[in-house]
Amino acid sequence: MAKIDIEKLHKSYGAHVAVSGLDLELPDQELVVLLGPSGCGKTTTLNCIAGLETPTSGRILFDGDNVTSLPPHKRNVAMVFQSSMLYPHLTARQNISVSLRHSGLSKDDLAKRVAWASQIVNADKLLDKLPGHLSGGERQRVAMAKAIVRQPAVFLLDEPFAALDAALRSVLRAELVSLQRRLTTTMVMVTHDQIEAMTIGDKVAVMRDGKVEQLGAPSEVYKNPRTLFVAGFVGSPPMNLLPGRLSTEADALYFEAEGFRVPVPKRFASVAGTNGVTYGIRPEHLEVSYEEVPAACPAKVFALEQLGRESILIAVDGRGTKLTTIVAAERTTQIGERIWLRPKAAECALFDTGSERALAP
């Protein structure tokens, strides 16, 4: 159990800046996910928390104590990597026990601890197997047990499920959440899979270019992205983003781009004078109609991606702008079919195109 504070963390490799003045507060006993595109500095940040990398500058505090220059074994952290590092010639049981070799526990207590840790991740039936005889998912369970057995204050996970298939990932995700609740440790997990981030984290820190762009509860980050980058990165399929301008007519506010004009909620009246506005609307808030309706944008079906229960429909409007929406799978839609798209006006987000920041709601 530990509260982690990261203050102005900076890490360069020669001229290359991997982490650039990152500030982050990780509350005690919460599961925080670091989410961001490849190369944005997620692993470097995690390695600095673990003590595997020395920051170029900045501080890392555990419960207020400065641990920035402490070696990993003095930090009470455990780390699980994308592909777990298990000794191939040792059984799962021996691999898990290795973590406790300097603990001074009696043989009996050690066996109890190993049994306890492996039960938590359903690895208790695997204990006599060698890593080579385990599936990928089973190996990750053993790696988790190996980390848990030390009862660390901080649990760091770097894309622990990335190499696994979707079904197993979803099972292990659920197990991780339940594990975190039971162990009441602070966990930081890295992923570039935004579905993973949205489903497991108490909080999500969206990273870009070595900085945290937004920190918040997953639903908050999804509903109120503070920048264009977060709006485009969080959500699958991503939010539709259309550059254009605001206009006022008879006291009502509109967003306009070529051939596209939609009403904007009154709450945006105070930003009506902004030059260059990007309109954001999530695919699920863009209604598709197969007949002409008022206040809708005419378009044609460009592509259809069937997901089972629903389909992702990519439409193209008169000027070639692509807009993504979601339709029920029952509706048979033809490529090239004429459709009308109408945003649920209240659900839109607006961004200042120049600064890329959200305009106050």
Ligand X SMILES: Nc1ncnc2c1ncn2[C@@H]1O[C@H](COP(=O)(O)OP(=O)(O)OP(=O)(O)O)[C@@H](O)[C@H]1O
Stretch that binds ligand X, among 37-45, 175-183, 248-256, 332-340 (CB under 6 A): 37-45
Q: What is the residue-wise DSSP string for 55-66?
A: -SEEEEEETTEE
Interface with Mg ion includes 47 (CB under 5 A)? no
Of 43 and 180, CB closest to ligand X: 43
Smallest distance from the beta carbon of 148 to Mg ion, in angstroms?
22
3-class DSSP state of 226: coil
Stretch that binds ligand X, among 40-48, 72-80, 193-201, 236-244 (CB under 6 A): 40-48
- Contacted by 16, from Mg ion, ligand X, none: CB < 5 to 8 Å by type: ligand X
- Contacted by 113, from ligand X, Mg ion, none: CB < 5 to 8 Å by type: none
Smallest distance from the beta carbon of 98 to Mg ion, in angstroms?
25
Burial, 13: exposed, middle or buried (Cβ in 10 Å; 0-12, 13-18, 19+)? exposed
Alpha-carbon distance of 239 to 256, in angstroms, equals 18
- Contacted by 192, from Mg ion, ligand X, none: CB < 5 to 8 Å by type: ligand X
Q: Which of 43, 47, 186, 311 contacts Mg ion by CB under 5 A?
A: 43
Scanning the chain, the segments in alpha helix (DSSP H) are 42-50, 92-98, 107-120, 136-148, 166-183, 194-200, 218-223, 228-233
Alpha-carbon distance of 155 to 169, in angstroms, equals 18
To which H or E segment does residue 109 belong? helix 107-120
x/- letters, 191..230, toward ligand X (CB under 6 A)? -x--------------------------------------
Contact predicate 62/16, CB 8 Å:
no
Interface with ligand X includes 39 (CB under 6 A)? yes
Interface with ligand X includes 51 (CB under 6 A)? no
3-class DSSP state of 288: strand
Cα–Cα distances in Å, from 155 out to 2, 187, 214?
10, 5, 22
Interface with ligand X includes 318 (CB under 6 A)? no
Smallest distance from the beta carbon of 201 to Mg ion, in angstroms?
17
Tell the residue number behind the tokens 């600095």, with chain if given: 48
The neighbour count for residue 259, using CB atoms within 10 Å, is 12
Of 238 and 298, CB closest to ligand X: 238
Alpha-carbon distance of 173 to 194, in angstroms, equals 13
Stretch that binds Mg ion, among 7-15, 42-50, 107-115, 223-231 (CB under 5 A): 42-50
| 166-183 and 136-148 helices, crossing angle to 10° | 10
Interface with Mg ion includes 44 (CB under 5 A)? no
x/- letters, 11..30, toward ligand X (CB under 6 A)? --x--x-x------------
Of 10 and 245, CB closest to ligand X: 10
Which one-letter DSSP state was computed for residue 132?
A: G
φ, ψ for residue 113, nearest 5 deg? -65, -40
Q: Count of residues binding ligand X (CB under 6 A)?
A: 12
Of 213 and 317, CB closest to ligand X: 213
Residues 155-194 that bind ligand X (CB under 6 A): 192
Interface with ligand X includes 240 (CB under 6 A)? no
Find all residues with CB under 8 Å of 182, minimum gap 6, and list them. Answer: 120
Stretch that binds Mg ion, among 40-48, 169-177, 285-293, 340-348 (CB under 5 A): 40-48
Alpha-carbon distance of 1 to 28, in angstroms, equals 6
Tell the residue number behind the tokens 């622990």, with chain if given: 160
Cα–Cα distances in Å, from 284 out to 216, 244, 245, 323, 354?
22, 21, 23, 11, 26
x/- letters, 69..108, toward ligand X (CB under 6 A)? ----------------------------------------
Of 41 and 343, CB closest to ligand X: 41
Contact set with ligand X (CB under 6 A): 13, 16, 18, 36, 38-44, 192
Contact set with Mg ion (CB under 5 A): 43
